[in-house]
């Protein structure tokens, strides 16, 4: 379980996150909604270690004990694929560099994710050759390759047209069904109702 306890974060005088408390279980989809500026993105940036928080705790718990495995992934709004790598290398790079996989093993693992996310045939493409939805799925594959316990999505539907919204919803369900805890920021209440196990209204 990912346990957020009394999390506080200010930017100067702007007290963005005030005593945020939230638990996310593995395999669960928690959607975070709220007005613009209530700190939804700041919250997941704190979870992912991209932002220091001022007070409170972010605990990775395993059977009530603090876990050594603090792995968490992020699919950002702009996807931030590495433009100089093709799809395959985007997915395998961290596996090879961080998890010290052999290249063949990394490619094998990436292939599974490519199939899971419907990216077959795009392995050699660069990001400029991909559509928004494809880029997003590469970003998801890249994050999943590292087998994070939790995966954050920042506004996954904002860059997509109506038709693709449901396909990313289904992908999120698939990710959760594999045992990953999923935290999704969204403005889209309908999307939240349809796919979330729980909706957390930030700033309410």
Q: In whole angstroms, how close is the CB of 166 to other proteins at the nearest point?
A: 26
User: How many Cβ atoms are within 10 Å of 142's Cβ, its own excluded?
Assistant: 26
Contact in structure between 154 and 44 (CB atoms under 8 Å): yes
Cβ nearer to other proteins, comparing 48 with 58: 48
Q: Could you tell me the two tokens for 159? A: 């860059």
Rounded Cα gap, residues 26 and 181, in angstroms: 4
Of the pair 127, 186, the CB lying nearest other proteins is at: 127
| Of residues 62, 1, 11, 12, the one with CA closest to residue 41 | 11
The nearer residue to other proteins, 154 or 192, going by C-beta atoms, is: 154
Nearer to other proteins, 64 or 68 (CB): 68
First-to-last C-alpha distance (Å) of the chain: 23
Spatial neighbors of 16 by CB under 8 A, at least 6 apart, are 9, 10, 38, 39, 42
Comparing CB distances to other proteins, the nearer of 21 and 129 is: 129
| Residues near other proteins (CB under 8 A) | 48-50, 72-74, 76, 78, 80-84, 93-94, 97-98, 126-128, 142-143, 146
CB of 69 to other proteins, least distance (A): 12
Beta carbon nearer to other proteins, 15 or 97: 97
In this structure, what are the phi and psi dihedrals at residue 128, rounded to the nearest 5 degrees? -65, -15
Considering the complex, what minimum distance in angstroms separates the CB of residue 77 from other proteins?
9
Residues 125 and 79: their CA atoms lie apart, in Å, by: 15
Q: How far is the CB of 14 from other proteins (least distance, A)?
A: 20
Using CA atoms, how far residue 69 sits from 10, 59, 93, 96, 146, in Å, is: 28, 11, 20, 19, 12
Local structure of 161: helix, strand or coil: coil
Shortest Å distance, C-beta 23 to other proteins:
21
Please report how close the Cβ of residue 26 comes to other proteins at its closest, in angstroms: 19
């Amino acid at each position: 379980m990912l346990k957020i306890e009394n999390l506080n974060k200010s930017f100067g005088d702007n007290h963005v996150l005030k005593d945020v408390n939230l638990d996310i279980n593995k395999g669960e989809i928690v959607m975070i909604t709220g007005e613009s500026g209530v700190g939804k993105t700041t919250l997941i940036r704190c979870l992912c270690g991209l932002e220091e928080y001022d007070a409170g705790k972010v605990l990775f718990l395993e059977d009530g004990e603090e876990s050594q495995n603090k792995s968490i992934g992020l699919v950002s709004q702009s996807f931030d694929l590495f433009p100089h790598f093709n799809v395959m290398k985007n997915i395998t790079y961290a596996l090879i560099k961080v998890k010290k996989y052999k290249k063949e093993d990394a490619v094998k693992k990436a292939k599974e994710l490519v199939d899971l996310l419907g990216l077959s045939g795009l392995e050699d493409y660069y990001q400029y050759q991909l559509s928004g939805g494809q880029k997003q799925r590469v970003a998801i594959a890249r994050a999943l390759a590292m087998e994070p316990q939790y995966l954050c999505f920042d506004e996954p539907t904002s860059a997509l047209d109506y038709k693709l919204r449901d396909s990313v919803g289904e992908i999120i369900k698939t990710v959760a069904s594999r045992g990953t805890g999923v935290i999704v920021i969204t403005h889209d209440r309908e999307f939240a109702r349809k796919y979330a196990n729980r909706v957390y209204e930030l700033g309410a």
